[in-house]
Copies of this chain bind each other. A is one copy, B any other.
């Protein structure tokens, strides 16, 4: 007899993404920011490293205050997390009893499904239209039954953003809507927590990360923003010292250096436009993106061959395949497949495009 919970035995072993630790790769597969973090963040980390023998501030006072000022809320609206992934784990542990329904769009971030399963939740994929818009009539019943609806906005792998009207229709009547804004800073007009201001906002949680726009993927730092009543519940499942002293110091400094983040964001948006247009001129269908990646597909469907060719030339992109993604269709016709390509530096993108030109 297994010593593990049945949910553990049911779950596939984790296959880590490709994170080559050696140099020489053009790494466009995990949506990292190609630019370095704020020098002020590095200075704050260096200073904090002189006091590592003591525990970090369990209240994360300075970091929460910086985030609160940025979004014009009180610090008790902020919960810090050891990366957005921990935020999602805390959400499941706070809200989901065995059998409770967790909804998320599909195709989307696959981790939602894994985490719901580990909590013995009933996960339901909400199918999207072929143009990545919502078919509200088709998903309404599942929304009505949900305890938690998780919507990444912008979505991955598509990079599109849904508007507030769409999001409010996804708020479950007896549950909580989580808007995962991991890529929120790359929108042409970023959200500023507007969704949280109204009465409906008391059942909406926005999650953010410093991994992408702030160039701090290595630091593991994210946060949730929500009404204090919701934060108070989530805080009960949070480890007291879930964020370390270096992350909190570096994260606070990075948040306070908006000019640095915005300058890198500006570079990425400019490169995104050029990359999207060039991919289109090379025969790709490339979606307009509101994130730091572009979803590129080809009518020929030779995505794996392209991925392999790029990899053989040390250019790493993400090959993604979502079976059963088209309601009413079966087999290959129902599969959504393509390449999700991170917007790197101009130099990295030039290299990508040059290797693609060789392939074509």
- Residues on A lying within 8 angstroms of B by beta carbon are 1, 3-6, 8, 11-14, 16-17, 19, 21, 27, 30, 32-37, 41-42, 45-46, 48-49, 51-59, 61, 82-83, 85-86, 89, 93-98, 118, 174-176, 203, 211, 215-220, 230, 232-233, 235-247, 250
Tell me the interface secondary structure of chain A in the complex.
Answer: loop
Q: For A233, what are the chain B residues with a Cβ–Cβ distance below 8 Å?
A: 3-4, 8
Q: Does the CB pair A33–B53 fall under 8 Å?
A: yes
Contact check: which of B33, B46, B53, B238 meets A36 at CB < 8 Å? B53
Q: For A232, what are the chain B residues with a Cβ–Cβ distance below 8 Å?
A: 13
Closest chain B CB from A108 CB (angstroms): 17
Which 9 pairs of residues, A with B, have the shortest CB-CB distance? A218-B245, A16-B58, A52-B218, A220-B244, A53-B215, A85-B239, A4-B233, A55-B217, A11-B236
Contact check: which of B37, B48, B82, B230 meets A239 at CB < 8 Å? B82
Contact check: which of B16, B32, B241, B250 meets A220 at CB < 8 Å? B241
Q: For A174, what are the chain B residues with a Cβ–Cβ distance below 8 Å?
A: 1
6 examples of A-B residue contacts, CB within 8 angstroms: A3-B95, A13-B232, A13-B236, A34-B53, A46-B49, A218-B246
Cα distance A6–B52 when bound, in Å? 37
Q: For A3, what are the chain B residues with a Cβ–Cβ distance below 8 Å?
A: 95, 175-176, 203, 230, 233
Contact check: which of B14, B19, B97, B235 meets A14 at CB < 8 Å? B235
Q: Does the CB pair A17–B240 fall under 8 Å?
A: yes
Q: Does the CB pair B55–A49 fall under 8 Å?
A: no
Q: Does the CB pair A55–B36 fall under 8 Å?
A: no
Cα distance A200–B30 when bound, in Å? 42
Q: For A247, what are the chain B residues with a Cβ–Cβ distance below 8 Å?
A: 244, 246
Q: Does the CB pair A215–B16 fall under 8 Å?
A: no
Cα distance A37–B48 when bound, in Å? 13
Please state the number of chain copies in the assembly.
Answer: 2
Closest chain B CB from A136 CB (angstroms): 23
Q: For A250, what are the chain B residues with a Cβ–Cβ distance below 8 Å?
A: 52
Q: Does the CB pair A217–B13 fall under 8 Å?
A: no
Q: Does the CB pair A5–B82 fall under 8 Å?
A: no
Assess A218 versus B17: contact at CB under 8 Å? Given A5-B95, A239-B85: no
Q: Does the CB pair B54–A49 fall under 8 Å?
A: no
Q: For A220, what are the chain B residues with a Cβ–Cβ distance below 8 Å?
A: 56, 82, 241-244
Closest chain B CB from A113 CB (angstroms): 13
Q: For A203, what are the chain B residues with a Cβ–Cβ distance below 8 Å?
A: 3
Q: Does the CB pair A239–B54 fall under 8 Å?
A: no
Cα distance A175–B97 when bound, in Å? 24
Q: For A86, what are the chain B residues with a Cβ–Cβ distance below 8 Å?
A: 82, 239, 242
Q: For A95, what are the chain B residues with a Cβ–Cβ distance below 8 Å?
A: 3-5
Q: For A33, what are the chain B residues with a Cβ–Cβ distance below 8 Å?
A: 53
Assess A52 versus B215: contact at CB under 8 Å? Given A5-B96, A5-B97: yes
Cα distance A175–B4 when bound, in Å? 9
